[in-house]
Chain A
Amino acid sequence: MHTVLGSASTKVVIGDDQPFCVIGERINPTGRKKFQEQLRAGDLSQIEADVAAQVEGGAHVLDVNMGVPLADEVDLLSRAVRLAQSLTDLPLCIDSSVVEALDAGLAVYQGKALVNSVTAEDERLDAILPLVKRYGAAVIALPNDEDEIPMSADRRLELTDKIIDTAAGVHGIPIEDIVIDPLAMPIGADTSVVGVTLETISKIRAAYGVNMTLGASNVSFGMPGRHTIGAAFLAMAAKCGLTSAIMDARSPQIVEAVRAADLLLGNDAWGANWIAAHRAKQAAG
């Protein structure tokens, strides 16, 4: 199944027969004190460096999140989307938990965006899916509801059923434009949580064959050697059927791990991408 995203000029295809789609996570002020202060003052200039570093690192899509406490997220997100699109041809993933901010970001976006995100909560489905439909976007959906973030793969699959029934059945969003987030949790808090995520990926893949993405950096939170953990995790998750991740595109170690996974899983014919990346590194070296 192919999820096709686009900017005004460039298309990116997410799919199980495609190279793993790297969504750069960096344009996000969470935990970045200086960036938060700049954004509160209306200064978006940091985005330029963040775009450049992630394009350089090999991102296919860039996530844009402007969730700054005490700032006008609606205004910031629409300005950030316009700015990012003036700096890169890569498609964007418009990321907010504020419905009005998603609307404002989608309104100024050129092309077909990925919306991050909706959950299986009725209220969120009712508010966000009509926007996704209206703008012809694709959407990331998280299988958690009003009561809990389920800690079993079966319950996550049930909530995925609900999401797909509602998005495709009620709102008429094509199933290929629904990207499920199987929920990545920190391994440092409980060493069983990644097993649940991997099982969820396998089950959703078997049931629907839809594309999936997740916040890969969550997995290594609170641990040393985060890039090594991220690299190992993404290779395993790709094998289970994960086709994309919102991740640290500036880390060569993690990006190279997903490129190697492409090769090993048969998504890089004759190793052409792997070898070309090697040559490019040599030439730059």
Chain B
Amino acid sequence: MTPDEILKGLYDKTLVGNGPAVLELTRTGLDTGMAPETMLFDALIPSLEEVGARFERGDFFVPEMLIAGKAMSGALEILRPLLAETGAHTVGTFLMGTVKGDVHDIGKNLVNIMLEGAGFHVIDLGVQVAPEKFVAAIGEHKPDIVGFSAFLTTTMPMFKANINALRKAGLRDSVVVMVGGAPVTQEYADAVGADGYAPDASATVKRAKEFMSQRRALATA
């Protein structure tokens, strides 16, 4: 296979969520001496972006988004250690959790898969995550972005409590705060002082990438 064929194969097979084929092509790519970064940035990530675009247009549906994300994650498991060796930067680290008092996680898990597919290193704290647990995990993992998920109007106020806890711990300016969940709106995100909101998994990835390029621009400025 030529490098172009491998890249085109990775793009096409990720798009249709064919995990085994993506794995095989990734191995073939490595065997033929292709750089992990090339596969990631020239095939896998553009493919997932296309999946997100199709989802937003209503041409792709939730299961298709999920299997594409999973196919991509499989390739990343092989590539991530190699990318670390070459010193290539990961897209970013995303710390995620459903807020205290809330056990809903289907939407959050979907977002995690799409973020991983987009190349983020995702650390999921699960459900019922108390403010102090978010604070401790941010101290430990130093994520670029933290995501708070809530499914109920009664648990959404935990966004504010979490943000206050970050402020108290002196961590608020070290991390981008994103919020989401069925009842959450942009207005609500603004009111509690979050940096970002997205209505679905695909939009979350897009927004998270925007935040990452802003952070990089700031870091190099």
Contacts and interface: CB of A to CB of B under 8 A. Distances in A.
Contact of B61 (A98, A144, A147, A224): A224
Contacts of A97: 152-155
A189 B153 contact: no
Q: Interface of chain A, helix or strand or loop or mixed? A: loop
Contacts of B187: 69-70
B62 A70 contact: no
A31 B106 contact: no
* Residue among B104, B127, B185 with the highest chain A CB neighbour number at 10 A: B185
Contact of A149 (B62, B104, B110, B182): B104
B61 A223 contact: yes
* Residue among B62, B182, B188 with the highest chain A CB neighbour number at 10 A: B62
Contacts of B128: 146-147
A191 B66 CA distance: 12
Interface in B146-194: 152-156, 182-185, 187-188, 191
B33 interface: no
A69 B185 contact: yes
Contact of B103 (A33, A68, A146, A223): A146
Given A188-B61, A222-B61, A30 B183 contact: yes
Contacts of A147: 103, 128
A36 interface: yes
A185 B127 CA distance: 17
Contacts of A31: 182
Nearest to A224: B61
B63 interface: yes
Contact of B153 (A67, A191, A221): A67
A130 B103 CA distance: 24
Contacts of B127: 148
B155 to A, nearest CB: 8
Contacts of B183: 30, 67, 69
Contacts of B155: 97
A73 interface: yes
A186 B62 contact: yes
Given A69-B185, A70-B187, A189 B66 contact: yes
Contacts of A222: 61-63
A98 B110 contact: no
Contacts of B156: 69
Interface residues of A, number: 27
Interface in B92-145: 103-106, 109-110, 127-128
A96 B154 CA distance: 9
* Residue among A186, A188, A222 with the highest chain B CB neighbour number at 10 A: A222
Given A30-B182, A97-B153, A98-B154, A188 B63 contact: yes
Contacts of A186: 62, 106
B153 A73 contact: yes
Contacts of A149: 103-105
* Residue among B63, B104, B105, B156 with the highest chain A CB neighbour number at 10 A: B63
A252 B185 CA distance: 31
B99 to A, nearest CB: 13
Contacts of B191: 69-70
A68 B106 CA distance: 22
Given A69-B156, A98-B153, A148 B188 contact: no
A69 B61 contact: no
A188 B62 contact: yes
Nearest to A193: B106
Contacts of A146: 103, 128
Nearest to A119: B103
A44 to B, nearest CB: 17
Contacts of B110: 189
A30 B153 CA distance: 10
A67 B155 CA distance: 12
29 contacts: A30-B183, A33-B185, A68-B153, A69-B153, A69-B156, A69-B183, A69-B185, A69-B187, A69-B191, A70-B191, A96-B153, A97-B153, A97-B155, A98-B153, A144-B103, A146-B128, A148-B127, A149-B105, A185-B106, A186-B62, A188-B63, A189-B62, A189-B63, A189-B66, A189-B106, A223-B61, A223-B62, A223-B63, A224-B61
10 shortest interchain CB distances as A-B pairs: A222-B62, A188-B62, A69-B188, A67-B153, A97-B154, A97-B152, A188-B63, A189-B106, A69-B185, A149-B103
Given A188-B62, A221-B62, 16 more contacts: A30-B183, A67-B183, A69-B183, A69-B184, A70-B187, A70-B191, A147-B128, A185-B106, A186-B62, A189-B62, A189-B106, A189-B109, A189-B110, A222-B61, A222-B62, A224-B61
